[in-house]
Amino acid sequence: MSNPKVKIRRKNVEKILLAAEKVFAEQGYAGTKMADIALQAALPRSNLHYYFSTKDELYREVLVNLLDTWGLEGACFEKFDDPRVVLTSYIMEKMNHSRTRPHGSKLWANEIMRGAPMFQDMLDEHMAKGAKLMEQKIRQWVDEKRINPVEPSALLYMIWASTQHYADFDYQVCALNGHQPLSDQQYHQAVQTITSVILRGVGLSL
């Protein structure tokens, strides 16, 4: 039987992290105050400090949460072996994340463009490890002649750039779409197009 206090804590922490993700993305680290996050989370400031004593601690936890989420997206590289299945699944997960949590992608982009001053240690330890595993899988496909010869890191960068664009540059996407957010059909078409281009580029088809 689950502990009610544990459930409440988990719910509040999740609420705070999502609120912080949005505020940090919109206002930047320096421009964000804990009071802003408490307001976005609809929680008393005292509650916020109960879970996260400092802004630094909360900011790092938001970034860790993003890395964990992206780690789950990349799980298909270990779960499946068929390159078509893996790449299709990965692109779908990345696009879904860009649509449902665009602020997280923007926050990450801002941190990286500043040289990851708050997160260099975790970046080297966790993200590099995950990317290396994906690169090894791609290199294996190339060696087994299951896909065309490609530089693994370049392929990953192409996928990240094309999928995260819909989050990082959502205002531009909206502006070029008659100042309307993409419909479900348009998003599906975008997923299909990106998937088709990537697959065909490595010698596969949908």
Q: Which domains does the chain have, with CATH numbers?
A: 1-53 (1.10.10.60), 62-201 (1.10.357.10)
Euclidean distance between the first and the last CA atom of the chain, given in angstroms as a whole number: 45
Q: How many CB atoms lie within 10 A of CB 2?
A: 7
Backbone angles phi, psi at 114, to 5 degrees: -90, 5
Give the helix/strand (H/E) hosting 52: none
Burial of 146 (0-12, 13-18, 19+ CB in 10 A): middle
pLDDT tens-place string over residues 50-107: 999 999 999 999 998 988 888 888 899 999 999 999 999 999 999 999 999 999 999 9
pTM: 0.90
Taking only the tens place, the pLDDT of each residue in 93-119 is: 999 999 999 999 999 898 888 888 877
Token readout for 90 is 């990965």
Whether the CB-CB separation of 71 and 43 falls below 8 Å is answered with no
